[in-house]
Amino acid sequence: MRGVELNLWKQRLGTVPATVWERVELEVLILADNDLGEISEQLGRLQRLRTLDLGHNMLERLPDSLGALESLCDFLYLHDNRLRALPASMARLRRLRYLNLSENAFRCLPEALRGLTGLVELRVSDNLLEALPDWLGELSLRELHLRNNRLETLPTAIGALSDLRHLDLRGNPLVELPASIADLPALAKLDLRWTPRLVVPPWLESLGARGVLVYR
């Protein structure tokens, strides 16, 4: 069951009606594709939310009160906005399992993500990432989507993602990859398409031999 839901997808709202913030019983709130330029701090009142969709808007920042949504555990969609940073309070969303930050303007992964210990799927495709932090290896990710960024290599710490099953690196200017990827015990799919600069590492063949789907 999805719980109490309010679906305002593609309603050309421009701004969120004040009455939405009074719906404290909501568990699912969909505000995608509404030309929204800001979200009120009143968002923090909706403390029963399990899913929040703010995708396909024009957001440049998010309210600090986002961190008050500690029941947010299913999905947080923030893709296709103009975000460059996230509020530090987001580190409190420890139950969140899925986060989509694709199609924004992130040059680095926000430090707030370090607190998302329940995260199993992270999508940061189509951004401006030039490097990944070592703390990424502290997460419990099963899927990591990094298509179309500016990554030339990855940190050795990525090898600490023992639950990682799917790693998507398509469309990056990769030059080399850390050998620690070869030791990822749960890896089932590695996508390296559209990476013409990459020097193919000798361990890549061993991944295929153990049944990992490697796309080149």
Based on the fold, state whether residues 30 and 103 are members of the same structural domain. Answer: yes
**pLDDT given for residue 55 in this prediction:** 98
Total domains present in the chain: 2
- DSSP secondary-structure letter at 57? S
The stretches in the chain having pLDDT less than 70 are 1-2
Give the tokens for residue 158. Answer: 């990525």
Q: Are residues 51 and 153 in the same domain?
A: no
Do 177 and 214 belong together in one domain? yes
Q: For position 3, what pLDDT does the model report?
A: 82
3-state secondary structure of 26: coil
Which DSSP string corresponds to 89-137?
A: GGGG-TT--EEE--SS--SS--GGGGG-TT--EEE--SS------GGGG
Contact 160, 186 (CB under 8 A): no
Q: 72 is in which domain, residue-wise? A: 1-127
Q: What is the full DSSP assignment across 104-115?
A: S--SS--GGGGG
Q: In what order do the strands lie in the sheet with 213-215?
A: 5-7, 28-30, 51-53, 75-77, 98-100, 121-123, 143-145, 166-168, 189-191, 213-215
**One-letter amino acid of 126:** D
3: left (phi over 0), alpha (psi -120 to 50) or beta: left
Q: Give the per-residue pLDDT at 2.
A: 60
| Cα separation, 199 vs 20, whole angstroms | 52
For position 175, which CATH number holds? 3.80.10.10
How buried is residue 73: exposed, middle or buried, by Cβ count under 10 Å (0-12/13-18/19+)? middle
Distance in Å from the first CA to the final CA of the chain:
40
* Co-location of 147 and 166 in the same domain: yes
pTM: 0.97
Residues 116 and 135 in one domain: no
pLDDT tens for 24-52 read 999 999 999 999 999 999 999 999 999 99
Summarize pLDDT for 187-210 with one digit per residue, the tens: 999 999 999 999 999 999 999 999
